[in-house]
A = this chain, B = another copy of it.
Amino acid sequence: VGVPRPAAGDDRIPPTVAWHDGRLRLIDQRGLPHRLRFVECVTVDEVCGAIANLTVRGAPALGATAAYGVALALFAACDGGDPIEDAAWHAAAKLMAVRPTAVNLERGARDVAGAAIDAVRAGQSARAAAGVALAEAHRIAADDVTRNRAIGTHGNELVPPGARVLTHCNAGALACVGYGTALGVVRAAAAAGKHPHVWVGETRPVLQGARLTAWELRRLRIPCTVLPDAAAGSLFASREIDLVIVGADRIAANGDVANKIGTYPLAVLAAQHEVPFYVAAPVATIDRMTPTGDGIVVEDRPADEVVRIAGRRIAPRGVTALNRAFDITPAAFVQWIITEHGLVAANHDAVRRVVERD
């Protein structure tokens, strides 16, 4: 199909999302940090399942996953003789419904579906259109890594030597196709010889910080220390945090940021202690159709993720739990949004300009 396969991984961290022998191959993030295993998806339903059960997560990774998911659906439609246009929209809608907060997922699915439909309308065969869809998915995946490296370059300017960086959840290679957004900035700073140390919020309930971010940083030989999420307050008070960098699942037109639950308290604490708070995210994370954070749909996930750890119930039977997946950090708490096009102020005009430039 003429587009080179993305080479996202390196010898330390393989690509999170890859096309392999006609299948979508994902790192199975549920097994980390103990086992590095892969899951292969052949159908769009398998892709939806892998998204729902957190085999794959992270806004940019979901974008590429959804892109390949639509391509898989189109190859299946060719085999079944189904109309490409129906199959493309049906697959995109199915994928978007699984995790409504991730705008990149929506965009990846739409772009690939749109490319295939354009091809069909231009008179190409169903199989050729599926090939176009796959090429578009490859492009999205390769593009993700290129953009993350640019985020790293821009963000590095904000990192002083010896910086003690607090991050939350996982906005690393595992949240993307490769390299990472927030952790991409840390990688760029480490590569520049700045010797950052990373405070990793464990990120209850699913522990993406303790499991995934710590795993990546260990592989990259970047020193880190895990902490209970609520211990960050004490670290701010003792002046042991120089800056906060997190990723984003969706950024509203005014710069409000939806990210993993627990992000907003860090932003409030950072403001209280005059520590800079940065959001690292590709422009694709910006959703100009949503004016403010109030309009962002925040998913509730199953209570069992909170009340069970490693299969064992921690709360008494009959007691339920809140498992809101994301919170909203108002733009006023964000010093810079670090994008592939440079640092963007978290306000309506600056956000509009960077989206128009993209």
A98 within 8 A of B: no
**Bound complex: CA A272 to CA B322 (Å):** 22
**Bound complex: CA A168 to CA B229 (Å):** 13
**Bound complex: CA A72 to CA B34 (Å):** 46
Q: With A33-B315, A314-B207, A315-B211 in contact, is A227–B265 under 8 Å at CB?
A: no
**Bound complex: CA A321 to CA B207 (Å):** 13
- Asked if B261 contacts A231 (CB within 8 A), the reply is yes
A312 within 8 A of B: yes
CB contacts (< 8 Å) of A312 on chain B: these are 310
Q: With A312-B310, A318-B218 in contact, is A229–B226 under 8 Å at CB?
A: no
Minimum CB–CB distance from A42 to chain B (whole Å) comes to: 31
- Asked if B316 contacts A218 (CB within 8 A), the reply is yes
A162 within 8 A of B: no
Interface residues of A in 312-348 (CB under 8 A from B): 312-316, 318-324, 326-328
A contact residues, total (Cβ < 8 Å): 57
Out of B204, B224, B307, name the residue touching A230 (CB < 8 Å). B204
Tell me if A's interface is mostly helix, strand, loop or mixed: mixed
Minimum CB–CB distance from A53 to chain B (whole Å) comes to: 18
Q: Which of A1-9, A114-122, A233-241 contacts its partner?
A: A233-241
Q: With A205-B228, A316-B214 in contact, is A233–B310 under 8 Å at CB?
A: no
- Asked if B237 contacts A328 (CB within 8 A), the reply is yes
A306 within 8 A of B: yes
A249 within 8 A of B: no
- Asked if A306 contacts B218 (CB within 8 A), the reply is no
Minimum CB–CB distance from A198 to chain B (whole Å) comes to: 10
Q: Which residue of B lies closest to A268 (CB)?
A: B272
Interface residues of A in 200-216 (CB under 8 A from B): 201-205, 207, 210-211, 214-215
A225 within 8 A of B: yes
- Asked if A261 contacts B230 (CB within 8 A), the reply is yes
Q: With A205-B228, A315-B33, A320-B226 in contact, is A307–B210 under 8 Å at CB?
A: yes
CB contacts (< 8 Å) of A262 on chain B: these are 228-231, 233
Q: With A211-B314, A226-B307 in contact, is A324–B231 under 8 Å at CB?
A: yes
CB contacts (< 8 Å) of A322 on chain B: these are 199, 225-228, 231, 235
Minimum CB–CB distance from A221 to chain B (whole Å) comes to: 11
**Bound complex: CA A218 to CA B315 (Å):** 10
- Asked if B265 contacts A228 (CB within 8 A), the reply is no
- Asked if A319 contacts B214 (CB within 8 A), the reply is yes
> A-side interface residues toward B, CB under 8 Å?
33-34, 168, 199, 201-205, 207, 210-211, 214-215, 217-218, 224-235, 237, 261-265, 268-269, 272, 298, 306-307, 309-310, 312-316, 318-324, 326-328
Could you give 19 example pairs across A and B, Cβ below 8 Å?
A201-B230, A204-B204, A205-B228, A210-B315, A210-B319, A214-B319, A225-B319, A225-B320, A227-B321, A228-B323, A230-B230, A230-B261, A230-B265, A231-B261, A231-B322, A232-B265, A234-B324, A265-B269, A310-B312
